[in-house]
A and B are shown apart, each in its own frame.
Chain A
Amino acid sequence: MTVVYQKSKGLTDVELHYCPGCHHGIAHKLIAETLEEMNAIDTAVGVCPVGCSVFADKYFSCDMFNAAHGRAPAVATAIKRTHPDQPVFTYQGDGDLASIGAAEIVHAAARGEKITTIFINNAIYGMTGGQMAPTTLIGQKTTTSPLGRTVEQAGMPMRMAEMLSTLDGVAYAERVCLTDIPNLNKAKKAIKKAFQLQMEGAGFTFVEILSTCPTNWGFSPLDANKWLKENMVPYYPLGVVKDVTKEVAK
C-alpha cells in the first residue's frame, strides 16, 4: 500500500475555521507541502496578516508571527535579515497587502528583501464582513460599494503583481489560481520556485493567488470558482509577470 496523497506535515491538526470552499485552505496546503518538500518546516518562519487568515498560525507547523494589519513585510524583513539562512514568508490578503500595507510591501520589494510573499487576492475584505478591497472589480457590489464599485468613486482595481514587478528588487512574480487541478499544479510550482529563488538569494519573490470568498461574494463554492474564472482572470491575467532567472538567461 502506497500513500498517493495525505495531509502535509506542514499543517497542524487544528481544524480550519475557513468557510466551505474558501481557497485559503488550498493555498495553506500548497505552502505547507512546499516547506515539507524543502525540509524546511523546522527552519521556516511565517508571518500572517490581519484578515480571515489571522489564525493561520494555528494551521502551519512552522514557527509563526502575527503582525499588525499590513505590517507583515516589515516584520518578515527583520526576521530574514537576522536569520538569513532560513526561509521567511508572509501570507497576506488584499486589505493587508494592497490597502493598509501598501507602503510596507513596496519597500520590502524595492529593497529586494529575500522573503516570499503569498498574496491572496479575493477582491473583497472577508473577515470584517465583505467591504470593498483595492482589488474589488468595477461594478462589484460590496458592503461599502453597495451600488457597485465605480471608477469615479474608487479608481480602477490594483494589479499588485504588475505594480511590484516594476521594482528592481523583485526577482520573481507570478499570478495563479486554484479553481481546478491544472491551475493548482501551476500554483504549487510557482510557490516552490518562489521559495527556491528566495533561498538562492535572488531577491523578493511574490505569488499572487486569485481566490474565492464564497460567503461574501454570495455564491456557492463552485459558483464562486466560476465567477473567478469569468470575472477575475480577464482583469488579473494568470502567468509569470517577472522572472529574473529567465531574463539573465536571455
Chain B
Amino acid sequence: MEAKVTFDVDRCKGCGLCASVCPKQIVALDETVTNRKGYHPAGVTDISKCIACASCAKICPDSIITVEKF
C-alpha cells in the first residue's frame, strides 16, 4: 500500500492538531517554511510510514488535507 497525503499549504494555519493525532508521528509543522498566511505549514515527514488512516485529515479544522492510497 502506498499512501499519498496532500496539504493545501497556503490554507494551513499551523495549529498542529494534525501532528498531535498522527499514530505514526510522521506529521509535523515545517519550521523552515512560512506560507502565505505567515504560518509554518504542516506536512508529512516520512510518507513511507504512512498507513493512510486519515486521522490528520479528519481533525484538520480547515479541511486542507486529502488522503489517498494505491
Contact = CB atoms under 8 A, between A and B. Distances in A.
A221 B15 contact: yes
A180 B21 contact: yes
A4 B61 contact: no
A5 B65 contact: yes
A184 B59 contact: yes
A29 B4 CA distance: 21
Report, as a range, how many residues of chain A touch the other chain: 20 to 34
Contact of B67 (A4, A15, A26): A4
B61 A2 contact: no
A21 B70 contact: no
A85 to B, nearest CB: 29
A92 interface: no
Interface in B5-54: 11, 13-17, 20-21, 39, 52, 54
Contacts of A8: 63
A16 interface: yes
A20 B54 contact: no
A2 B62 contact: no
B21 A3 contact: no
Nearest to A29: B63
Nearest to A3: B68
A149 interface: no
B39 to A, nearest CB: 7
Nearest to A22: B61
Interface of B: 3-4, 11, 13-17, 20-21, 39, 52, 54-55, 57-70
Given A21-B17, A180-B20, A225-B17, 20 more contacts: A3-B66, A3-B68, A4-B68, A5-B66, A6-B57, A7-B64, A15-B11, A18-B61, A19-B13, A20-B14, A20-B39, A21-B15, A21-B61, A22-B61, A25-B60, A25-B62, A26-B60, A181-B58, A220-B16, A221-B15
